[in-house]
Structure 1
Amino acid sequence: MHVDVAKPYVLEAASQPKPGRLAYWLDLRSVDVTEREETGATRYRLKLVYQTLYVPLSPAERYLPAFELRFKDGDDVAVAKVPPFKFIMAPLREVIPEVPAEGPEGYLRPDAKPQAVSTRRDRILFGVGLGLAGLALIFLAYDRAWWPFRARPDRPFARASRRLRSLARLNDDEAYRAGLLDLHRAFDASAGRRVLAEDVRGFLESHGVFRAQEREIDRFFAASRQAFFANDVSGAEKAMPLPAMAALGAELSAAERRAS
Structure 2
Amino acid sequence: MPKTYRYYLTLLLLITSSLCRAQSPSQSFDLQIVEPRAYGYTLGDTATRTWILTLRNGYQLDMDSLPQAERVDLWLELDPLQIEHRIESADSSASQHYRITLSYRLINLNEPEQLIELPAHTLNISNGPMNWQIPIPPLRLAAHQVAPDPANSGLPATQPLLPPPLLDVTPYWRWLGAIAVLGSLGLLGLIWVYALLPWLQRNRRPFARAYRVLQREPADSTTALRALHRAFNSTAGGTVFCHNLDDFFSTQPHFALLRQPITAFFAYSQQRFFTADHAPPAFDLPALARQLRAAERRQDEAKHKNSARQDAGNSEPSAPGD
TM range (shorter): 0.3 to 0.5
- When normalised by structure 2's length, the TM-score is 0.35
The answer to which structure, 1 or 2, has the higher relative contact order (CA under 8 A, 6+ apart) is 1
Larger radius of gyration: 2
